[in-house]
């Protein structure tokens, strides 16, 4: 079988802080009257596996296809499942909890969880929108633990105003929170391990209770020896250049073309439309809101019908 660019069915996640902006901005077919905070565009986790929606592989899940075509898709001989990226679009209508994701060393030391380094690309931002990105310099574990008890831990976080087009890198071990009024593309390692330390005294209307906290695990995972001041933010070209993944930003005008060959790529289409063409293959259409996986063994050309901004995520 000749492989081709794969498109996926979004997995929608209801969240207390979500909304319906993914319908307005990207035209996603959300369930009505439900606060959707996350659209998982490409996932290979135990309980959430993306389903292919185009071509001859439609209906199969990403893990099944990788099991059959691992090297042709990834381009490497020693591929180890799961798929190395988790791609999400977030709709933060309210502030998210203050939280942290562990790094590999913490997971090994504690015997639980999976590491998660991530980045946030700002798609849309309401006036005054901000994120909380790392701890202030010289914050100690003891200070932060007391602040969690007092409900003042946000005072120790660095609040960063954000603009559309910025990409903020957050290595695992970084304490963080997403503020209200933001649409974000999140590119990350394939993990859903989250340790919540503060939820703004919020009550879940479905349960009448606050959401559970994971203070002890969070204090083990936070990197108190590094300040949020040192974390990168980029808005053009190579946005992230980390061991875990690379992210590049592309901008093409109508009539432009880009060759894709020799390396597995995940494309996140932020605006515009076009098609991916190859010899003796039916064209694969793409438009704003699509996420596509281009196999390493597939040589093709992106052709742009409208002005288009997109992100390209690579691993190897």
Residues assigned a catalytic role:
196
Rounded Cα gap, residues 290 and 10, in angstroms: 9
Q: Which residues pair with 310 in a beta bridge?
A: 250, 269
Backbone angles phi, psi at 62, to 5 degrees: -60, -40
Residue-by-residue DSSP string for 290-306: -EEEE-TT--EEEEESS
Burial of 214 (0-12, 13-18, 19+ CB in 10 A): middle
Task: Establish whether the linkage from the previous residue to 82 is cis, with ω within 30° of 0.
Answer: yes
> Which two three-digit tokens encode residue 65?
């296809």
Give strand ranges (E) for 43-194.
44-45, 48-49, 86-92, 98-100, 118-125, 130-135, 157-161, 167-170, 176-178, 182-188
């Amino acid at each position: 079988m000749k492989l081709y660019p794969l498109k996926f069915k979004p997995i929608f996640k209801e969240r207390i802080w979500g909304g319906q902006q993914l319908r307005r901005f990207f035209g996603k077919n959300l369930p009505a009257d439900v606060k959707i905070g996350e659209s998982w565009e490409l996932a290979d986790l135990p309980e959430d596996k993306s389903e292919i929606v185009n071509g001859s592989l439609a209906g199969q899940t990403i893990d099944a296809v990788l099991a059959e075509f691992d090297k042709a898709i990834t381009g490497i001989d020693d591929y180890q499942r799961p798929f190395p990226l988790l791609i999400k679009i977030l709709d933060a209508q309210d502030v998210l909890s203050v939280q942290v994701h562990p790094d590999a060393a913490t997971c090994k030391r504690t015997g639980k969880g999976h590491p998660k380094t991530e980045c946030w690309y700002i798609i849309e931002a309401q006036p005054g929108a901000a994120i909380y990105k790392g701890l202030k310099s010289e914050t100690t574990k003891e200070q932060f633990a007391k602040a969690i008890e007092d409900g003042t831990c946000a005072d120790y976080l660095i609040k960063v105003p954000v603009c559309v087009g910025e990409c903020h890198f957050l290595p695992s071990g970084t304490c963080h929170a997403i503020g209200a009024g933001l649409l974000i593309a999140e590119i990350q390692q394939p993990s859903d391990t989250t340790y919540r330390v503060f939820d703004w005294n919020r009550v879940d209307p479905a349960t009448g209770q606050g959401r559970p906290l994971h203070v002890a695990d969070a204090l083990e995972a936070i990197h108190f020896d590094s300040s949020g001041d040192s974390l990168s933010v980029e808005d053009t070209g190579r946005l992230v250049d980390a061991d875990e993944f690379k992210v590049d930003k592309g901008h093409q005008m109508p009539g432009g073309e880009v060759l894709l060959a020799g390396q597995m790529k995940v494309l996140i289409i932020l605006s515009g439309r076009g098609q991916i063409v190859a010899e003796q293959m039916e064209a694969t259409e793409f438009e704003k809101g699509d996420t596509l996986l281009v196999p390493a063994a597939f040589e093709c050309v992106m052709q742009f019908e409208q002005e288009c901004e997109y992100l390209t995520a690579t691993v190897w």
